[in-house]
Structure 1
């Protein structure tokens, strides 16, 4: 495998994908300040090098929501990832299954829950938004339950969609008519490998989970219009009673950055929490997850299983996040870049890199179990 790091995979993805798709994957909202902070703040976390502490038997395994994971890493939900490679979510889930780590399917996935269930044996997680149409939500939760999904990841930081200027400039959103379609087709033609493998051979390109709610032969403009019209700005904590009553398995609340909100998640009976700023794609100017995580871990870390995402590009970054208080890390762009660059093989290789980098980092900070990584592992906190 030519690529050696997530940054290499990012560059390979940039070369392979049409601009409108790469910019959708790579970009954030407005000036992308929070997107940059996620990377920069995590990079500044310094670890203590410890020596002469027997690290001959390093164990990365953890238990997340009743399911053993080979390491404290999962593939988080990434919308539209199914067009980064042919039937992309299936390829990524197969790589996660082989690596023994969780995979979470986005509501806005190209591959449906049915397709995923037929493709992998390891149970997956399912991510859901609060929608205006509660019937669609109930149907999706019922299907996820019936198909054996073991956890529901409920995203709460998108009551409205933020403006992503890169998507507008690339022609993905922001205008109607034939011009943006022609622009996207032209971009796809400049990437013939993707155009044939995914654009032609990877159909259908709709959103499999919400296809029944969309008009026949819905295009990208129809899909984004539907998403914008069905996000629920009127949602409040009391509305999560619907979710808790309908979903009996582990419930994970995704998109929390403040201690007060984390405490509310505990009150409603959540089993887990993802400290997340949506990868810098929602509130630009919000704090990085690196800075938000420690006070939340101090406040509620013993009351639920605390996960985090945002800016993680290596196994070293995983160790940093665990030291800051997380029990596990959800990857986003890191696996999507690898998928776009090299499909299932790329995701599998990226996960092997994460594992190898974690083993080296743990050995050099002097621990041999994930549970032994804590604030004492940090030099600057």
Structure 2
């Protein structure tokens, strides 16, 4: 029999400590976010549909994005035990300079539409965390203002080569003069992908208001207050444009750009050059032979060619073949620090986070981006400890298995044929012997 007694209030007091209420609504929301997906949910509640969908959406049926995220879920970690992981070092050298963690903020366009602080919030948060910030050609903050927001940190400039070459290189020159140390040359946008959400939402420059847009925005007055009481939205690199984002891309971007153009661009830039948008091993080898400093395995976040290769699946082969000759970076589908640890284990030097950054921005401006970086950094450290490693260099293929889900039919047939027992060969019929 269990002996029961009337509880003594003095014994209960230590068990009933109430949490001090947080009166700051933004801090309360962000403190409650424990994953990037939590930040995404906050962002969706606080951002009008057209702006949120611009971040959330991908091309056509959005299969490339879904597959990229699934690829990171389809892994198995292999931890080692009884290792001293009391201290974990997440830093490394990337493109000739140190970073505190193996990820940075990817270039994003139209950023101030997501939340009015835009690139200023991203650059400031990246600088404070000791990671690089990338400014897009289609960014909504000038090169010089980004430098002012992150004066001592690492700033990278992402270049789309326009049909107007002179104008493109004028931006490159400005970035070099402002002290940006790396040029990201994006090569997977000869034409705009079919981003159907944007078409359905009438997402354009300047934004075209419809009755549906207004109705959707009514429950989000804070977004409208920010939007209407700050500097009018515009691309920092454009004087003006009236039309959809896709029409802008098709008008500006040059589908004739080739490897010779890339070599010419490299010669104009005084710093490091990374080619972003590599999607096969042969192109990676050719870029390595050109002396490019790094590549980013990327299908543009699934926003260009739907059903494109999954960067995470390409990573092991590409890293094995060219990793000694240049750095291999990765983006698309990364939603946690564990995804980054898995990428490093399979050969990536560095990762870029785009949507995760924008979810944080929409969830809480600068504080939201800070929170995203904290979440991902904590996940990286915790995953490393649980794997039994204390530095990034200790991570290797032995720590991760990529589980098969999307396997090419030809490979399945070949593997199946090899697994079958060999059929006994029928004896050849003897030729009749001619009579002598």
TM-score tier after normalising by the smaller chain length: over 0.9
Residue of structure 1 in register with 2:54 after alignment: 24
Residue 254 of structure 1 is aligned with which of 232, 251, 276? Answer: 276
Residue of structure 1 in register with 2:232 after alignment: 204
Q: CA deviation at 1:379?
A: 3.7
Per-residue CA shift, 1:138-195, capped at 9, x if unaligned?
Answer: 100100000000000010000010111111122215xx99976555445444421111
- For residues 88 and 253 of structure 2, the distance between their equivalents in structure 1, rounded to whole angstroms, comes to 44
SS of structure 2 residue aligned to 1:46: strand
The yes-or-no answer on 1:160 pairing with 2:182 is no
Residue 161 of structure 2 is aligned with which of 112, 117, 130? Answer: 130
- For residues 178 and 73 of structure 1, the distance between their equivalents in structure 2, rounded to whole angstroms, comes to 32
Pick closer, same or farther for the CA change 1:178–1:300 going to 2, 3 Å: closer
> Number of aligned pairs?
372
Q: Which region of structure 1 is more displaced relative to structure 2, 136-145 or 181-190?
A: 181-190
Residue of structure 1 in register with 2:222 after alignment: 193
- For residues 204 and 242 of structure 1, the distance between their equivalents in structure 2, rounded to whole angstroms, comes to 36
Q: CA deviation at 1:237?
A: 1.0
TM-score with structure 1 setting the length: 0.93
Residue 50 of structure 1 is aligned with which of 71, 74, 80? Answer: 80
Q: CA deviation at 1:354?
A: 1.2
Residue of structure 2 in register with 1:111 after alignment: 141
- For residues 257 and 364 of structure 2, the distance between their equivalents in structure 1, rounded to whole angstroms, comes to 39
Residue of structure 2 in register with 1:79 after alignment: 109
Q: CA deviation at 1:205?
A: 0.4
1:341-352 map, 5 Å: 341-352=363-374
Residue 331 of structure 2 is aligned with which of 299, 304, 309? Answer: 309
- For residues 227 and 370 of structure 1, the distance between their equivalents in structure 2, rounded to whole angstroms, comes to 38
Q: CA RMSD in A?
A: 1.9
Per-residue CA shift, 1:313-369, capped at 9, x if unaligned?
Answer: 111111011112100110110111011001111111111111111111111111111
Residue of structure 1 in register with 2:362 after alignment: 340
Q: CA deviation at 1:225?
A: 3.4
- For residues 343 and 179 of structure 1, the distance between their equivalents in structure 2, rounded to whole angstroms, comes to 24
| Contact 2:328-2:349 within 8 A present in 1 as well | yes
- For residues 79 and 154 of structure 2, the distance between their equivalents in structure 1, rounded to whole angstroms, comes to 38
| Contact 1:171-1:183 within 8 A present in 2 as well | no
Residue of structure 2 in register with 1:358 after alignment: 380
Unaligned residue ranges in structure 1 (runs of 5+): none
- For residues 74 and 239 of structure 1, the distance between their equivalents in structure 2, rounded to whole angstroms, comes to 27
- For residues 364 and 177 of structure 1, the distance between their equivalents in structure 2, rounded to whole angstroms, comes to 48
Q: CA deviation at 1:301?
A: 0.9
- For residues 91 and 24 of structure 1, the distance between their equivalents in structure 2, rounded to whole angstroms, comes to 19
| Contact 1:257-1:293 within 8 A present in 2 as well | no
| Contact 1:74-1:102 within 8 A present in 2 as well | yes
Residue of structure 1 in register with 2:263 after alignment: 241
Residue of structure 1 in register with 2:309 after alignment: 287
Per-residue CA shift, 1:190-241, capped at 9, x if unaligned?
Answer: 42111111x1123220001233xx3xxx44x276533320111111111112
Pick closer, same or farther for the CA change 1:179–1:83 going to 2, 3 Å: closer
The yes-or-no answer on 1:371 pairing with 2:393 is yes
Residue of structure 1 in register with 2:25 after alignment: none
| Contact 2:117-2:366 within 8 A present in 1 as well | no
TM-score with structure 2 setting the length: 0.82
Q: Which consecutive aligned stretches of 4+ in structure 1 deviate over 4 angstroms post-superposition?
A: 176-183
1:142-181 map, 5 Å: 142-172=173-203
- For residues 69 and 310 of structure 1, the distance between their equivalents in structure 2, rounded to whole angstroms, comes to 20
SS of structure 1 residue aligned to 2:381: helix
Residue of structure 2 in register with 1:228 after alignment: 250
SS of structure 2 residue aligned to 1:56: coil
SS of structure 1 residue aligned to 2:335: coil
Residue 351 of structure 2 is aligned with which of 307, 329, 332? Answer: 329
Q: CA deviation at 1:41?
A: 0.8
Pick closer, same or farther for the CA change 1:210–1:55 going to 2, 3 Å: same
Pick closer, same or farther for the CA change 1:380–1:115 going to 2, 3 Å: closer
- For residues 175 and 207 of structure 2, the distance between their equivalents in structure 1, rounded to whole angstroms, comes to 37
